Chain A
Amino acid sequence: MIRALVIGNSHAAALIKGWDQIRDGYADKVDLSFFATWEPIYRQLGFQGLVFGAHADSDLPQHSQDRLVEMNGTAQVDLTGFDHVLHVGLLVPDADLIDTARRFDVDGLPEAGHPHRLSRPAFDALVDSHVQRPPVRALLQGPWAQLGNRLTVLRRPRARQSLFGPAESPAASIFGTAQGRINAALADQAASAGIRFLPQPVQTLTPPGLSDSRFADTAPRLMGDKTYTRPDLYHMNAVYGAFCLKAWLDSMT
């Protein structure tokens, strides 16, 4: 029996719900646990050795610690005993790329006739700069790396296709191309750090490489029965979560 842990921010909710859909298929193979909380709380958690969470010396406000316990039954999780850990919801801040995709034509990609034009070297350099941003560096170079190849990283889902209109829209192509490049760079960096990188399952993507909007319907929240509503660009539903879990679990079993 493999002991596995899914840990992360609000994006873990899709996997928690997704596990309900597929757990029977792994009943005698995987003992899966979850530890998740909202991003504003999650980013204030830390390590002591391999124990992750809110520690005695934490600056996390008491009400946040209470929420953390309410969600997980504990304020900390010891990663020592897990064979595999899936870190869910890595934030690569990319909202600015949505603006770029909507305002610029890019060499070599479908064009909308915008007055502003971006060369491919400038576009590539812009996209690559996103992988140098603090959340990524913190994960790949920080204490998480001590888990080595027991750790797998799953990014926050890509923005929804519906944000860009039809799949053939130039903006969708530009944004999707950027996402592919970010993923490739992340995979390289993760490999260099001895960490595994789990790409978003292709079944959940549209041809340009954005999240298929079908998987955004009824995206669950971490607490309660409410779901994310339309203005949300990134949260996905249980079906998406099941695809991600299957891809991860099947790679280890």
Chain B
Amino acid sequence: MPSPYADLPPRAFWRTAVAGREAAQTAGLYEPKFALTKAHRILTAGSCFAQHVGRALRGAGFDVIDEEPAPAGMPAALAQRFGYGLYSARYGNLYTTRHLRQLLEEAAGLVSPADPVWERGGRFFDAQRPNVEPDGLDTPDLVALHRRHHLAAIGRALDAADVVVFTLGLTEGWIDAETGTAFPTAPETIAGHYDPARHRFVNDDYPRVLTDFLAARDLIRARRPDMRFVLTVSPVPLTATMSGQHVEVATAGSKAVLRAVAGHLAATCDDIDYFPSYEIITSQTAQGRFYAANRRSVTEQGVQTAMACFLAAHGVAPLAQAQAPMPDPESEEDDVICEEALLDALRR
């Protein structure tokens, strides 16, 4: 009997598929489970890398939903500062599946997050998305009013969507110890007041990440039974870890959990696909060249390489790169709104 490896295609072997390949040659890395066309309406969410995904899809002519659009004429930088145009609604970055699940439960009227309003300097912030109003609002009541509008927008986005593209970003996060309410950032990072007795660090393990995503999927499919999902894992490392480990080791651990969950979901669920942007950016083939000088931010070239692979696999040329707003190379690292990066500022 010949070896079971004997008839495998070249893509199955490291020497032929990787050793001699240029980083930009991504053909064969991704074979979509289902076709994505420009007729599909796409909802994007996830960690800050998902902003790149949404922008590239929009630039290529895909119908990316935006249920909380910026006012006409708002300059791009200003819109980004206020959380417009980043995702399909102004939920900001959803780093964890725990947060995604909680948001969907809240939109469905199943939960009300604890400690919903954070304060800083006499201004009030939505604790679930403190970065979308960087100057805060006048009163807690206004925060609540804006949140009601936001949740309604999420409902409209879900009802309109055919495909959800979600980027898993982190396993580490902060919760309200008594209620389990998840927060997207640690209190004090943007607003709020850190209380060790109230705020607890969590580092979600594989079962927790998986359970939360499946619950989120159930909530979405309760509204849209035919919804399909494309998962990616953010290649952006942790800015800081509370795990006690070295941040590089903690990053590897977190990404391994997220990658394993994504792989399991794609392998076991017909409606879930996995796109390997994480591998394209982080692989040995890339030799780190898709990272900026800080070895954390993904370069525009990296994003373009990953998204070109995605688009080509779906039969779409990334022709509209020119239509998508191109970041200033000088500010490449600052182009994506990332609360995580604020931790860096705190460290300085």
Give chain A's interface residues, CB within 8 Å of chain B.
93, 95-97, 99-100, 103-104, 107-108, 115-122, 125-126, 129-130
Contacts and interface: CB of A to CB of B under 8 A. Distances in A.
Nearest to B149: A117
Contacts of B152: 115
Given A115-B156, A121-B137, 12 more contacts: A93-B73, A96-B72, A97-B73, A99-B73, A108-B138, A118-B71, A119-B133, A119-B146, A121-B135, A121-B136, A125-B81, A126-B78
B146 A96 contact: no
A104 B149 contact: no
Contact of A129 (B69, B75, B133, B135): B75
B74 interface: yes
Contacts of B133: 119, 121-122
A121 B146 CA distance: 13
Interface in B164-190: none
Contacts of B30: none
State the 4 A-B residue pairs at the shortest beta-carbon distance, nearest first: A96-B73, A121-B135, A96-B72, A100-B71
B133 to A, nearest CB: 5
A125 B149 contact: no
Nearest to A101: B71
Contacts of B138: 107-108, 120
Nearest to A95: B73
Interface residues of B, number: 23
Interface of B: 68-69, 71-75, 78, 81-82, 133-138, 142, 145-146, 149, 152-153, 156
Binding site of B, secondary structure by majority: helix, strand, loop or mixed? loop
Nearest to B123: A121
Nearest to A123: B71
A121 B73 CA distance: 16
Contacts, number: 58
Contacts of B156: 115
A122 B133 CA distance: 8
Given A107-B138, A117-B145, A119-B137, A129 B78 contact: yes
A96 B71 contact: yes
Nearest to A114: B149
B143 to A, nearest CB: 10
B325 to A, nearest CB: 16
B82 A122 contact: yes
A116 B135 contact: no
A125 to B, nearest CB: 6
A98 B81 CA distance: 22
25 contacts: A95-B73, A100-B71, A100-B72, A104-B71, A107-B137, A108-B138, A115-B149, A115-B152, A116-B68, A117-B145, A117-B146, A117-B149, A118-B71, A119-B82, A119-B133, A119-B142, A120-B137, A121-B133, A122-B71, A122-B133, A125-B81, A126-B73, A126-B78, A129-B74, A129-B78
Contacts of B153: 115
Most buried by B among A104, A121, A130: A121
Contacts of A118: 71
Contacts of B78: 125-126, 129
Contacts of A99: 71-73
A245 to B, nearest CB: 32
Contacts of A115: 149, 152-153, 156
A95 B152 CA distance: 28
A107 B142 contact: yes
Contacts of A107: 137-138, 142
A8 B226 CA distance: 60
A107 B145 CA distance: 10
Nearest to B145: A117
Given A115-B152, A115-B153, A119-B137, A126 B146 contact: no
